[in-house]
């Protein structure tokens, strides 16, 4: 049976109908594997310039296409909402994050009823649908709460993963199988004496493929939590990177940009953005700082190993050559200093917080204070990470490395916050192996791509609710070596960080900060526009706002129209709602 895996779409109804008809008339359709990692920068994996060992992803790139100007949504929840629905996040109800209470339904923190997911669309074409990994698009994470926006209720046949957005890799918060919350110690279907969440995501994905209905194509969504904080990895994987980062962040950034230019990912005249932290010579606890990056690298390494096991499963099932595999990331490197500062000590502040969990108890805390065995979990400037008794991030300096050569991070809409690798591997369609494509593309393009290749029906209405039309375009011609164009701009908004990309031009604004300990990420007001020619200045170092006022006005008008259309305003960023 011919199997396939995907990408792309065409918004013009006549052409889309013709393609759908051809797909439906074919003897078989592609399998689809959509892999996404968490909180990683543009240059982390080997085939995009990094020193981290990712041989399986590198091999997919060498035999497929690497996109050099593909964009995500700058943050986990908005990116996932867009990737799953093909809409801008506000249209799907995820203008910010889960759990927020706002008057504007664009910020309801839950997938709304005016969108459909990739899994729901795939079901219209007879696909089996599986998911392993991080969901993070449902307001409710509790076993006894409403589950209408959990994976099985949004089109997936089988699910293994976490409902919320982060947690201990050795005992994940809100770990779930299908519709039931579990923990690794009571899960008879995946018994493991050495449990590690990244491995479980990979192993369960391979299992779902083996146990699938062989008569139907399948869609598999694999959103890993790696390499989101906390920095957790096994000793044998960390050891592989012993000493690799002892030279410090400046040296690694310089090495990466050289490799990126050699690979052709950026132009030879691309400049490295200024160092956005203190120099390595002034760093305290250099051994701890270096080890944090070693652990981060190990987390990515383990993910790549798991992807390799999934690939071996495809080969063992005889469907590797006819499967499209896509790999991307949900946002840029994360500058959040979670647990990295201050004196070394416990996250717990009271004795009550050190009460261990029972063996059958569900872990709900994203940042737990105690392990299930009753050991205190540590943080502080002396803690590097690694075992389950630690909980820290890798910090802003290393995030600056991850986003080489760009500036800014997760949350923001400058290139460092939204630039992601996209690897597309599908030998039956992609004939120009190890190729690069610089067409500016966005996660809104994934839904139309998959819908086209599956021969699926994207509905105008579902359960009596009007469904927003897809926002993106098909990338399929690019797989064939053909050219495409986009009729219109790509737009962003997240926490009053905003941008417009039209052709080579990008208008971008960093939200101004308000007061409060977490204000850097949750309380913003509109800032001044900056204008860049991305073709000449991908690192966004030469602001042309003053010299090209007409272009600024043109793009600002586009953004204003976008903001009105998708209900950016009223937004929830007010003093009364800020987090303290």
Tell me how far apart the alpha carbons of residues 437 and 421 are, in angstroms, rounded to a whole number. 11
Per-residue pLDDT tens over the stretch 412-428: 999 999 999 999 999 88
Tokens of 274: 């200024």
Task: State residue 192's pLDDT score.
Answer: 86
- To the query of whether residue 115 is one of the catalytic residues in this protein, the response is no
Q: What is the per-residue pLDDT across 529-548, written as a single tens digit (0 to 9) for each? A: 999 999 999 999 999 999 99
pLDDT for 525:
78
**Mutual orientation of helices 13-25 and 446-454 as an angle, nearest 10°?**
40
Can you tell me the distance from the alpha carbon of 78 to that of 471, in angstroms, rounded to the nearest whole number? 15
Question: Helix 286-316 crosses helix 197-210 at what angle (to 10 degrees)?
Answer: 10
In this structure, are residues 225 and 133 in contact, taking their beta carbons and an 8 Å threshold? yes
Which stretches of 221-285 are DSSP H helices?
235-239, 249-263
pLDDT at residue 5 above 60? no
Quote the pTM value: 0.93
End-to-end CA gap in the chain:
57
Q: Provide mean pLDDT across the span 383-398.
A: 98
**Average pLDDT of the segment spanning 511-521:** 62
Q: How far apart are CA 325 and CA 303, in angstroms?
A: 15
For residue 498, what are the β-bridge partners? 493, 509
Q: Which residues contact 536 (CB under 8 A, 6 or more apart)?
A: 504, 542
User: How confident is the model at residue 103, as a pLDDT?
Assistant: 85
For 373-385, what is the mean pLDDT? 97
What would the pLDDT profile of 316-356 be if each residue is shown by its tens digit? 999 999 999 999 999 999 999 999 999 999 999 998 899 99
- Beta carbons of 199 and 306 less than 8 angstroms apart: yes
**Residues 6+ away with beta carbon under 8 Å from 407:** 273, 274, 276, 414, 415, 416, 539, 540
Say which of 47, 90, 136, 411 is annotated catalytic. 136
Contact 449, 11 (CB under 8 A): no
Distance CA 443, CA 507 (A): 19
What average pLDDT is seen over the chain?
92
DSSP characters for 51-97?
SB--HHHHHHHHTSEEEEEEE--SSHHHHHHHHHHSS-GGGGT-SS-
The active-site residue out of 47, 76, 115, 334 is 76
Q: How far apart are CA 258 and CA 124, in angstroms?
A: 47
| 27-36, 211-220, 233-242, 558-567: the lowest-pLDDT one | 27-36
Structural contact between residues 98 and 296, judged by C-beta atoms closer than 8 angstroms: no
- The 10s digit of each residue's pLDDT in 264-314 is 999 999 999 999 999 999 999 999 999 999 999 999 999 999 999 999 999
Question: If we measure between CA atoms, which residue out of 500, 470, 516 comes closest to residue 562?
Answer: 500
CA distance 116 to 461: 9
Q: What is the per-residue pLDDT for 515? A: 62
Is the model's pLDDT at 218 over the cut of 80? yes
Q: What is the dihedral of CA 34, 40, 44, 45, to 10 degrees?
A: -20
The pLDDT of 193-199, averaged and rounded, is: 95
Q: Quick one: what percent of the chain has pLDDT higher than 70?
A: 92
Location of structure tokens 């120099």:
279
- Element holding 211 (H helix, E strand): none
Whether the predicted pLDDT of 12 surpasses 90: no
Q: What's the rounded Cα separation, in Å, for the pair 500 and 109?
A: 24
Residues in the chain, total: 580
Tokens read off for 171: 């005992």
Average pLDDT over residues 371-390: 97
Annotation marks residue 76 as catalytic: yes
């Amino acid at each position: 049976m011919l199997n396939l895996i995907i990408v792309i779409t065409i918004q013009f109804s006549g052409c889309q109908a013709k393609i759908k008809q051809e797909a439906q008339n074919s003897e078989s359709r592609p399998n689809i594997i959509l892999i996404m990692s968490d909180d990683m920068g543009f240059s982390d994996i080997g085939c995009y310039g990094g020193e981290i060992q990712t041989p399986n992803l590198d091999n997919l790139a060498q035999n497929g296409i690497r996109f050099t100007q593909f964009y995500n949504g700058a943050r986990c929840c908005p990116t996932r909402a867009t990737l799953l629905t093909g809409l801008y996040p506000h249209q799907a109800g995820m203008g910010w994050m889960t759990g927020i209470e706002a008057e504007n339904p664009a910020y309801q923190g839950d997938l709304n009823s005016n969108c459909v997911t990739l899994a729901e669309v795939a079901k219209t074409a007879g696909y089996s649908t599986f998911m392993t990994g991080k969901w993070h698009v449902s307001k409710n994470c509790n076993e006894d709460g409403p589950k209408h926006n959990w994976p099985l209720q949004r089109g997936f046949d089988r699910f293994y993963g976490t409902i919320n957005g982060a947690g201990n890799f050795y005992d994940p918060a809100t770990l779930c199988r299908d519709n039931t919350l579990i923990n690794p110690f009571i899960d008879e279907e995946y018994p493991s004496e050495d449990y590690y969440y990244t491995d479980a995501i990979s192993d369960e994905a391979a299992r779902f493929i083996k146990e699938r209905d062989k008569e139907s194509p399948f869609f598999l969504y694999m959103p890993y939590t790696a390499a989101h904080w906390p920095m957790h990895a096994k000793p044998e994987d960390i050891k592989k990177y012993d000493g690799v980062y002892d030279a410090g962040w400046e040296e690694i950034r310089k090495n990466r940009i050289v490799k990126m230019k050699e690979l052709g990912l950026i132009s030879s005249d691309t400049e490295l953005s200024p160092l956005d932290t203190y120099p390595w010579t002034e760093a305290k606890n250099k051994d701890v700082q270096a080890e944090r990056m070693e652990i981060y690298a190990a987390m990515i390494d383990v993910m790549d190993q798991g992807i390799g096991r999934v690939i071996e499963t495809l080969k063992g099932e005889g469907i590797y050559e006819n499967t499209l595999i896509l790999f991307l990331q949900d946002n840029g490197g994360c500058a959040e200093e979670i647990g990295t500062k201050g004196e070394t000590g416990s996250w717990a502040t009271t004795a009550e917080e050190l009460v261990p969990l029972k063996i059958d108890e569900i872990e709900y805390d994203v940042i737990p204070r105690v392990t299930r065995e009753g050991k205190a979990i540590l943080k502080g400037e002396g803690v590097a990470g690694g075992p389950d008794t630690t909980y820290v991030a890798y910090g802003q300096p290393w995030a600056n490395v991850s986003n080489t050569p760009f500036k800014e991070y997760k949350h923001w809409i400058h290139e460092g916050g939204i630039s992601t690798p996209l690897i597309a591997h599908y030998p039956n369609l992609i004939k120009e192996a190890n190729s690069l494509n610089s067409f500016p593309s966005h996660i809104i393009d994934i839904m139309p791509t998959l819908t086209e290749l599956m021969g699926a029906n994207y509905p105008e209405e579902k359960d009596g609710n009007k469904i927003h039309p897809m926002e993106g375009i098909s990338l399929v011609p690019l797989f064939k070596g053909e050219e495409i164009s986009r009729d219109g701009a790509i737009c962003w908004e997240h926490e009053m960080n905003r941008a417009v990309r039209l052709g080579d031009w990008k208008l971008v604004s960093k939200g101004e900060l308000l007061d409060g300990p977490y204000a850097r990420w949750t309380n913003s007001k509109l800032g001044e526009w900056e204008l860049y020619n991305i073709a000449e200045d991908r690192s966004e170092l030469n602001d042309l706002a003053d010299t090209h006022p007409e272009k600024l006005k043109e793009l600002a008008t586009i953004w204003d129209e976008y903001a009105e259309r998708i209900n950016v305003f009223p937004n929830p960023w007010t003093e009364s709602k800020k987090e303290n």
